[in-house]
Chains A and B, each alone.
Chain A
Amino acid sequence: MTMTLAEKIFMSHLKDEPFPGTKVLNIDAVLCHEITTPVAINDLVARGKDRVFDPEKIKVVIDHVSPAKDTKTAIQGKIMRDWARRHNIRDFFDIGRNGVCHAIFPEKGYIRPGYTVIMGDSHTCTHGAFGAFAAGVGTTDLEVGILKGVCSFRAPETIRVNINGKLPDGVYAKDIILKVIKTLTVKGATDCVIEFRGDVVKGMSMESRMTLCNMAIEAGGTSGICMPDETTVGYLWPFISSDYKDKSAALADFKKWWSDEGCKYVKVLDIDVSTMQPQVTYGYKPDEVKDISEMEGTPVDQIYIGSCTNGRIEDLRVAAAYLKGRRISPLVRGVVSPATPRIFRQADEEGLIKIFMDSGFCVTNPTCGACLGMSNGVLAPGEVCASTTNRNFTGRMGKGGMVHLLSPAVAAVTAIVGKIADPRKFKKETI
C-alpha cells in the first residue's frame, strides 16, 4: 500500500484507535510556551494530576512577552519556571536564552524527520519543514500531551502543492505561501496536511521551508510538511552526526519517510513561480492577497520584521541588503526582532544589526513582540503596519490597527519609502 509522509508517521506512532477515524498518537516532542501552558499546568495541579510523561520530551520557552511586561505576565513566567524545576525539565529557555518558539526549537535540533510534535500554538505546523507531523493544539490537548505523551487526531488527508519554475528576484518563500493561501482560501486545507513539493522547495533552505510550513494553518491546515533531504541532513548534522556513519546514511534513513510514488492526495495544486510578483495582504484574512502592483503606495505607520514566519537570519539578511546605506522614511517607525539569540548574535557578527540601526530601525530582543500585539510594537487605533508576520486579523497588533502581511524584502523597501513598495525596483547591496 502506498502512503503519504503523514500517513507513515501516523502508522508508526499509532497508540490506539478508540473509535473508527480517531487516531491516538504517541508524541515525540511536546513544546510549551508561557501563554498557553500555565493554564494547563494549573488545571493539572487542580485535578491532582501534576505529572509529566517524560521530562526529556518536553521543551519549554518563554517567548511571547519577554521580558515580562507586567505582574500578570511575570506570573505566567513564574508558573513555567516552578513547574520545569519541579519536574526536572531541563530544556527550558528563559530570558536571555529565549527566542520565538518555532525558531528556537528547530535551532536546538529538537525536531527530526518522522517526529510527532504538538504545542499549544497554532503555528506548530512550522516544524513540518523537517518532515515531521507537527500540529497546534489547545490547552486540553497540551495537558494530555504533558501528562500522557499522546494526542488524538482524525486521520489527515494530504494536499500536495507542487512549486516549480524559477523564482524571480525580489520574490521569496513568503510570497509563495501567501499565494498558496490565496488559492486554497482560509479554510481550504482544514483537517489536511499540506505537502510542499517541487523544484523550488528542493532548492530552498530550511529557513524558507519553515516560512512555507509556518503558514499552513492560515489555510486551515493541520501541518505543513516537506520531504527530508540533503538540506535537512545538513541542518541537523550537528545533532545527528553520532547517530549515522555519514551524511548519506542519514539521508537514506530520512528517505524512508518520503511519500510513496502513487500515494493518494485529496488535492494537487501546481504553482509556477516564474512570473510571480511579491504578494501582500489587503484585508483582515490571510487569504485576502494581492500582487504588489495593486498595493504599491499604500501608506503605513510601522514596519515589523520578525516572528516565527520571517525572523530568521536569511530574512534579516534580505532586509538588510535593501536597507544598507539607506534611511527609513521619517514618517514611519521600523522594528526588527531577530527570532533567537543565535540569530541576533549572527546578525551582529555579519554587521546586519548595525545596518538596521543606521537605517533608523529599532532592534529588539528576541520575542514574539508586535506579532500578536501583546507587548512591544502595539498599534494605535487606525494605524497600519507592514509586517513579516502571519496574521492580519482585526486587532491582532492592537485594537483598531491593521496589518499587511508581506516578505522581509517588501518590509524593508516599504520602510524606506514609507508606503508599500516593490523590492524589484530597488537595488540590493551586498552585505
Chain B
Amino acid sequence: MKTYGGKVLFLDRSDINTDEIIPAKYLTEISKEALKPHMLEDFKFEGFNPQDQSLSEAKVIVTRSNFGCGSSREHAPWVFEVNDINVVIASSFARIFRQNMFNCGMLAIELSEKAIDELFAHRGADALISIDFDNDKLTMTSSRSSKTFDYQIAEFDKALVKAGGWVEFADLKY
C-alpha cells in the first residue's frame, strides 16, 4: 500500500476539472514522471500559484464539490501520484476520477460539506492530515486544534487499495 497523509494543499473551489489538473497537451506523454511539473498548470484561482514551493510538500488535497469532472484521463490521479499526493478529500467527486483514484490504489474521500468547511478552517495554520485507513478515520492537526473525522469508502474501493489496484484484483479474480 502507498502511504497516506501529510501536509495539505487547499483548493477552495468546486468543479475543478481534469483539464485544469493536467492540460490535454501533456496527454502525449507516455511516462507518468513526465507529467510531474505540470500539475494544476491551468488551474486559475486567486492566490494559487502552480509554481509555489509549498505545493511540492503537499501530500493531501482538500477541496470542495465535483472534483475531477471532465475527461476520463487517468493522468489526473497520476500527476498527483508522481507529486506524492495520494489522497484527495472533497464533498463529492466526478465518477470517473473517483474510480481512477481507487483503481490506482489512491484515496478519494468524501466528507460532508460541513466537515469540509471545518477542514478549510485550518488553512494556513500548518495543517497536517493523517489517515487511519483500517478504521476509516482521518485527523486534521494544526496549530489551531486537532479533530478526527469518520469517513466511508465503498468496500470494493477499499479492497482495490489493499490489492494494490484494480488490475491485480481483476486478473486474480476474473
How far apart are B112's CB and chain A's nearest CB, in angstroms? 15
In A10-36, which residues have CB < 8 Å from any B CB?
A: 15-16, 18-22, 24, 35-36
Candidates B15, B96, B103, B104; contact of A122 at CB < 8 Å: B96
Bound CA–CA A153/B102 (angstroms): 13
For A, the interface residue count at a CB cutoff of 8 angstroms equals 57
Candidates B28, B94, B96, B166; contact of A73 at CB < 8 Å: B28
Q: Beyond A373-B25, A399-B42, is A140–B154 a contact (Cβ under 8 Å)? A: no
Q: Is the CB of A191 within 8 A of B95?
A: yes
Query: When A and B form their complex, what is the total count of cross-chain residue pairs whose Cβ atoms lie within 8 Å?
Result: 145
- Interface with A: B69-77, B113-121, B122-130, B132-140, which one? B69-77
Q: Is the CB of B72 within 8 A of A148?
A: no
Q: Beyond A140-B167, A187-B69, is A394–B20 a contact (Cβ under 8 Å)? A: yes
Bound CA–CA A393/B21 (angstroms): 11
In A355-412, which residues have CB < 8 Å from any B CB?
A: 372-374, 391, 393-396, 399
Q: Is the CB of B174 within 8 A of A16?
A: yes
Is B17 part of the binding interface, using a Cβ–Cβ cutoff of 8 Å? yes
Candidates A19, A121, A137; contact of B154 at CB < 8 Å: A19
Q: Is the CB of A395 within 8 A of B66?
A: no
In A47-92, which residues have CB < 8 Å from any B CB?
A: 47, 49, 65, 70, 72-73, 75-76, 79
Is A291 part of the binding interface, using a Cβ–Cβ cutoff of 8 Å? no
Q: Is the CB of B71 within 8 A of A122?
A: yes
| Residue numbers in A under 8 Å from B28 (CB-CB) | 35, 65, 70, 72-73, 76, 374
Q: Beyond A16-B173, A141-B103, is A22–B30 a contact (Cβ under 8 Å)? A: no
Is A351 part of the binding interface, using a Cβ–Cβ cutoff of 8 Å? no
Q: Is the CB of B99 within 8 A of A141?
A: yes
Bound CA–CA A374/B42 (angstroms): 15
Annotate B145-174 by CB proximity to A: 1 below 8 A, 0 otherwise. Answer: 000000000111001000001110011011
List 15 extra interface pairs beyond A39-B74, A138-B73, CB under 8 A.
A19-B155, A35-B27, A35-B73, A42-B30, A120-B72, A122-B71, A124-B72, A137-B99, A138-B100, A139-B74, A141-B103, A148-B170, A187-B65, A374-B27, A394-B20
Please list the 5 inter-chain residue pairs (A to B) with the smallest Cβ-Cβ separation, ordered nearest first. Answer: A138-B100, A140-B103, A138-B74, A22-B156, A187-B66
